[in-house]
Chain A
């Protein structure tokens, strides 16, 4: 029972490089989320999805893109990495908006130098 799986766990990028953070869940959850957590700060929502083919912006979407072609996968794309994107990124999923529990991946620690 894998739950929510994020890859990679760690990554160092140079300014201007691109990368995709992968997130997969095996619980058949409709709702998926991407958060970033800066040191000593709370979680800020980047993008979310309520089902395959549907995505929407959260609080801090600039510099990121997402897609949701399947129920299981919700990749987060950084096109032109900037030092301000140095953070820990968490993916989460939820069966539905209502009375269900949210599950989190273990995070991807990204450093942009």
Chain B
């Protein structure tokens, strides 16, 4: 059974800093990994999708990496801004057709 863990659960950093969010998973036989952003009281917005054959994916100030052998993915945010404050979730589709989510990292960028 796939289990997804995100550490830390919460993170506060000053504006302008670079930061890394972590996602680990127990079953390395994955199809892809997706990072989402969720603002308070809102739905989920897809940020990046990494295919199982890829090592990383970039979108603007965001860079996501994938290391299947170690069961880890990281989301790197460069030059953080107050607007980046949100909860970030990683998700993986499993072999049983389900998409499994981590509990998320709640990020607060301090102005």
Contacts and interface: CB of A to CB of B under 8 A. Distances in A.
B95 to A, nearest CB: 8
A45 B99 contact: yes
A12 to B, nearest CB: 16
Nearest to A107: B43
Nearest to B91: A102
A102 B45 CA distance: 10
A99 B31 contact: yes
Interface string B16-60: 000000000000000110101000001111100101100000000
Nearest to A58: B98
Q: Does more than half of chain B's interface fall in helix, strand or loop, or is it mixed?
A: strand
A43 B46 CA distance: 15
Interface residues of B, number: 23
Interface in B73-111: 89, 91, 93, 97-104
A27 to B, nearest CB: 13
A42 B89 contact: yes
Contact of A45 (B42, B51, B98, B103): B98
B56 to A, nearest CB: 16
Contacts of B89: 42-43
Among A33, A100, A101, A102, the one with the most B-chain Cβ atoms within 10 Å of its Cβ is A102
Nearest to B9: A40
A26 interface: no
Interface of A: 31, 33, 35, 41-43, 45, 48, 50, 56, 58, 90, 92, 94, 97-107
Interface of B: 31-32, 34, 36, 42-46, 49, 51-52, 89, 91, 93, 97-104
